[in-house]
Amino acid sequence: MEIIGTLIIGLLAGIVAKFLMPGRDPGGFIVTTLLGIAGAFVATYLGQALGWYQAGEGAGFIGAVVGAIILLAIYRMVVGNRRTSI
């Protein structure tokens, strides 16, 4: 059940990250939402590794948004550079 909760929080975090980082994304809304979900999972496991969360406890919404913003910034750097260099 915790995975479904992380998916829902990640979906919402991806939407919020898109609004906080406006601009053209190479992948569009779907990729941004998927990056939000990935950001929630990264924040959950990183938080558990650092001792911020207990085992079985998911990342909070703010942690998921921060994870999504970091992944979105990395994605824009990697994919954006690839498109301009071709």
Q: What does the DSSP assignment read for 47-81?
A: HHHHTSS-TTPPPPHHHHHHHHHHHHHHHHHHHHH
Domain range summary for the chain, segments of one domain joined by +: 2-85
What is the DSSP-derived secondary structure letter of residue 3?
H
**Distance in angstroms (rounded) separating the CA atoms of residues 77 and 41:** 21
Cα-based angle 51, 55, 60 (whole degrees, multiple of 5): 70
Per-block mean pLDDT, blocks of 10 residues, the chain (86 long): 74 80 70 80 79 68 80 80 56
What pLDDT does residue 1 have? 53
| Model pTM score | 0.70
Cβ–Cβ under 8 Å, residues 25 and 76: yes
